[in-house]
Amino acid sequence: MTTVKVIGAGSIGNHLAHGCRSKGWDVTIVDLRPEALERTRDTIYPSRYSVWDEAIMLATPDEVAGKVFDIVIVGTPPATHLGVATAELRATPPQLMLIEKPLSHPDDVAIRDFVHLAQESATRVLVGYNQRHKPNTHKFLEVAKDPALGKLVGLSSHMLESWDGILKAHFWMNSEKDSYLAFTDQGGGALLEHSHALNLMLHFAKELGQGNAVKVDATIDWVNHESGRYDRDTKLNVTLDSGLVAEVRQDLHTWPAKKEAVATFENGSVVWTMGDSSDSVTLLATDGTQKNHWDLPKKRPDDFLGEITHLGDLVEKPEQPSSLDLESGLRVMEVALAAMESSAVGVTASVSRLGVID
């Protein structure tokens, strides 16, 4: 049986633990704080999935020290991701490690050091952008790769959602300032917390033959508060290898939430959307009329099933490629760092490579 160690008993830790259990895997949730483990058992997990799963083991780090797992999932706050992952790779390296998005807080030195360690390790390191393995993403690419659409002339990706949606999922918090969310330097803020939009754009760009990001022109709206600051709204124009300029928008004030990506072609456009009860893909003609529509009903746990299934596939067939490999997470951080530079100085910034995975 596949064994999984989920580090972090917060929101994402519960989601991914539940997904792993849906596969029948042996799951242990680990957290430094016994009270966080109790909250998972007594409140978070049963409120989301009807009942606590008695098969899940709960443990502090000392209680599982030295035990090797097939998969380790790092679901702690972003500023701790690389430290936790480094400790795991050095002490008890698993076959697979999934680091929840974003890969890290914005620290290029720490990221480079981790990339070097990961390249030397036998563990395959992934970054958890689960949107890449959802049915609407697969359908979007299937439709968008139709040669009849002609040349790609535009690409945009938006993740617009206020604190209301985030805090609803983190009901034990009084405000965003109770966690990393209100601190961009800790991996919060719109640019990193909502980086699914940036990640999707990069994924679609590569799959549609546009290459990687090379330059970024960014406008960032900052909010200063008594203990730090965060970016509430980010607007990025990202130049790709092909010369196409893609547009990415992420914010923390739009409500109701709007999560959408659009690929515009000479002969029409394809729209990707994410919702609470369903996702969808829509094919539009050049005049905006609908030619086809695919509605994909779902529940919140379904958002993670494709990602979890992919982990299982990689355990069984380690040689197969993965769109979640560390390099994909690095590309997001590279653009994010360039965006911060661009916004700070008011000019377009080049995207600097943080590392390349062979």
Query: In the structure, what pLDDT confidence band is assigned to residue 356 with cuts at 50, 70 and 90?
Result: low
Owning domain of residue 215:
131-298+325-350
Residues 217 and 74 in one domain: no
- Does 306 reside within a domain? no
Q: How far is CA 207 from the centre of its chain?
A: 18
Any idea what DSSP says for residue 325?
Answer: B
For residue 358, what pLDDT is reported?
A: 45
Q: For residues 59 and 183, state if they share a domain.
A: no
Helix axes 11-21, 305-316, angle to 10 degrees: 60
Q: Are 242 and 149 members of one domain?
A: yes
- Beta strand pairing status for 96-100 and 124-128? parallel
Question: In this predicted structure, what is the pLDDT of residue 194?
Answer: 96
Predicted pLDDT of residue 317: 96
Same domain, 73 and 188: no
30 token code pair: 């680990």
Outline where the chain has alpha helix (H). Answer: 11-21, 34-39, 45-49, 78-91, 108-120, 135-144, 163-169, 189-193, 196-207, 305-316, 326-345
Residues of the chain above pLDDT 70, percent: 99
Residues 241 and 289 both lie in one domain: yes
SS3 of 249, please? strand
From 82, 100, 118, the end of a domain falls on 100
Per-residue pLDDT at 250 exceeds 60: yes
Q: Is residue 7 over pLDDT 50?
A: yes
- For 141-159, how does the pLDDT look when each residue is reduced to its tens digit (9 = 90+)? 999 999 999 999 999 999 9
Q: Identify whether residues 174 and 32 lie together within a single domain.
A: no
Q: Encoding tokens for residue 275? A: 């919702």
As for how many domains the chain has, the answer is 2
Asked if residue 75 has pLDDT above 50, the reply is yes
Share of the chain above pLDDT 90, in %: 93
From 79, 100, 121, give the residue that closes a domain: 100
The amino acid occupying position 246 is A
Mean per-residue pLDDT, 101-109: 97
Average pLDDT over residues 51-79: 98
Give domain status of residue 358, yes or no. no
In a domain, residue 356? The reply is no
Query: What number is the average pLDDT over the span 317-323?
Result: 95
Single residue among 47, 82, 100 that ends a domain in this structure: 100
Q: Are residues 86 and 145 in the same domain?
A: no
- CATH number assigned to the domain comprising residue 9: 3.40.50.720
Average confidence (pLDDT) over 81-105: 98
Q: Are residues 89 and 136 in the same domain?
A: no
For residue range 171-202, what is the model confidence (pLDDT) as tens digits?
Answer: 777 777 878 999 999 999 999 999 999 999 99
Residue 44 included in any domain: yes
Is the pLDDT at 59 greater than 90? The verdict is: yes
Q: pLDDT per residue over 28-54, tens digit each?
A: 999 999 999 999 999 999 999 999 999
For residues 154 and 259, state if they share a domain.
yes
Please tell me whether residues 88 and 205 are part of one structural domain: no
Q: What is the CATH number of the domain that holds 168?
A: 3.30.360.10
Residue 286's CB: how many other CB atoms inside 10 A?
Answer: 13
Query: How far is it, in rounded angstroms, from Cα 303 to Cα 336?
Result: 24
Query: Whole-angstrom Cα distance, residue 234 to residue 217?
Result: 11
Same domain, 183 and 83: no
Our measurement of the distance from residue 203's CA atom to the centroid of its chain's CA atoms, rounded to an integer in Å, reads 12
Q: What integer pLDDT is reported at residue 172 of this predicted model? A: 75
Average pLDDT over residues 118-122: 96
Q: Is 189 a domain residue? A: yes
Residue 207 has φ and ψ, to the nearest 5°, of: -65, -25
Which tops the pLDDT comparison, 164 or 86?
86
The answer to the question of residue 180 being in a domain is: yes
User: Nearest Cα to 29, choosing from 62, 49, 57, 69?
Assistant: 57
Q: Does the residue 229 lie in any domain?
A: yes
pLDDT at 338 over 80: yes
Both 93 and 155 in one domain: the answer is: no
In DSSP notation, 252-313 reads: S--SS-EEEEEEEETTEEEEEEE-SSEEEEEEE-TTS-EEEEEEEE--GGGGGHHHHHHHHH
- Tell me whether residue 355 is in a domain: no
- Mean pLDDT is lowest, of 68-82, 168-182, 240-254, for 168-182
pLDDT over threshold 70, residue 62: yes
What is the mean pLDDT of the segment spanning 292-296? 98
